[in-house]
Amino acid sequence: MFVQRWNRTLLTGAFLGAVGLLMNARAGEASGTPTLRELAQQRGFRIGAAVAMPLLDNAEYRQTLSREFNLCVAENAFKMESLRPARDRFDFQQVDRLCAFAQTNRMKLRGHTLVWHQQMPWWLSQGHWTRDEALGIMKDHITTVMQHCQGKVYAWDVVNEAISDQGPDHPIRPDSFWTRVVGADYVEKAFEFARAADPQAILYYNDYSNEGMDSKSEAVFQLVKRLKAKGLVDAVGWQCHLASGWKAGAAQARNAERLAKLGLDISITELDFRISLPVTPKKLQTQAESYRSVMRFCLSQPNIKALVMWGFTDKSSCVPYFFKGAGAALIFDEQYQPKPAYEALREELTKAK
């Protein structure tokens, strides 16, 4: 009898233990460790990634993107080269696909970019235009695209990379199609057209190497100060295509504070930290600390509204194409496995108040 009862007790204990394990597993699965998106959402912060449209056909790409980010932007699909097969034609197929993806997955969507001297359609860049004709084309493009996306795109990079890298005064790029055909005032005209096209949209000026305190960021500051005085700009994009090892510091804080004084928000718009190949565990740790420093910095500055990476998996990054001998710049590897940089971002978001 006793033996039978003991067996019954053992069996019951084993059964309940198994049930407990199963329930924990289920609970763990249900609660899981919070994703970047969940942690950012809890802090009212936006964490985003650029989307390589062809990869949206891949289920793992889609699932990772929608699970980990609450914001996205098209790497190329919103650029003039992609949208304008001809002067009298707009092709919104890819735009509509990403708008639908963002809406289905309750993600904010950035528009990149309305006016840039690169990735222009051949019929425009190779054409011969008067100033007024070029301004007419610019106005038609900005108005049509923004109104097509109204209510679906919350913020636009109206003008991208207008400031020359050539110091000390960093003029509006003299070699840009827009400067050559319209004049340096093309920047202000673009923002005027954008403000009129969608008064609800948040209008960004976006550039690279403008995150510090130096002659280029000073030129950007003076440009957006003039635009802000006319009510034409709302925010500045710091692209932040950087080398692993870089860390945010006092210069970025001073730059963010002076833009805040102007009443301007900031987004990190194209973050990636390139590693000189081959990748090693030590280099991945260094990269993780760079990502950590940017997240910590963003969460410390009230006017920084979003951290957007230029992709999220090393399977699709422009870095190897533009920086020979470098790569592995993002937070998931080519098999969509999180890298130390991912864990560093989660830790920073978890620590944030």
Comparing CB distances to ligand G3I, the nearer of 71 and 299 is: 71
Please pick, among 161, 192, 211, 218, the residue that the annotation labels catalytic. Answer: 161
Pairing of β 155-160 and β 235-238: unpaired
Q: How far is the CB of 320 from ligand G3I (least distance, A)?
A: 8
Comparing CB distances to ligand G3I, the nearer of 35 and 269 is: 269
Comparing CB distances to ligand G3I, the nearer of 239 and 290 is: 239
Site for ligand G3I (CB under 6 A): how many residues? 10
Comparing CB distances to ligand G3I, the nearer of 73 and 349 is: 73
- 322 contacts ligand G3I (rule: CB under 6 A): yes
- 239 contacts ligand G3I (rule: CB under 6 A): yes
Q: How far is the CB of 110 from ligand G3I (least distance, A)?
A: 12
Among all residues, whose Cβ is closest to ligand G3I? 318
d(CA 26, CA 30): 6
In terms of C-beta density within 10 A (0-12 exposed, 13-18 middle, 19 or more buried), how is residue 71 classed?
A: buried
Comparing CB distances to ligand G3I, the nearer of 179 and 317 is: 317
Please list every residue from 175 through 234 that binds ligand G3I, using CB under 6 A. Answer: none
d(CA 326, CA 331): 15
Q: How far is the CB of 310 from ligand G3I (least distance, A)?
A: 6
182, 187, 192, 195 alpha-carbon torsion, rounded to 10°: 140
336 conformational bin, left if phi > 0, alpha if psi -120 to 50, beta if neither: left
Q: Are 334 and 64 in contact (CB under 8 A)?
A: no
- 54 contacts ligand G3I (rule: CB under 6 A): no
d(CA 36, CA 40): 6
- 56 contacts ligand G3I (rule: CB under 6 A): no
Pairing of β 46-51 and β 235-238: unpaired
Please list every residue from 63 through 122 that binds ligand G3I, using CB under 6 A. Answer: 75-76, 118-119
How does DSSP classify residue 155?
A: E
Q: How far is the CB of 243 from ligand G3I (least distance, A)?
A: 14
270 is catalytic: yes
Please pick, among 68, 218, 270, 348, the residue that the annotation labels catalytic. Answer: 270
Pairing of β 304-309 and β 241-243: unpaired
- Helix and strand counts by DSSP (H, E) for the chain: 14, 10
Pairing of β 304-309 and β 46-51: parallel
Please list every residue from 267 through 306 that binds ligand G3I, using CB under 6 A. Answer: 270
Q: How far is the CB of 231 from ligand G3I (least distance, A)?
A: 26
Residues of this chain that bind ligand G3I (CB under 6 A): 75-76, 118-119, 160, 239, 270, 318, 321-322
Catalytic residues: 161, 270
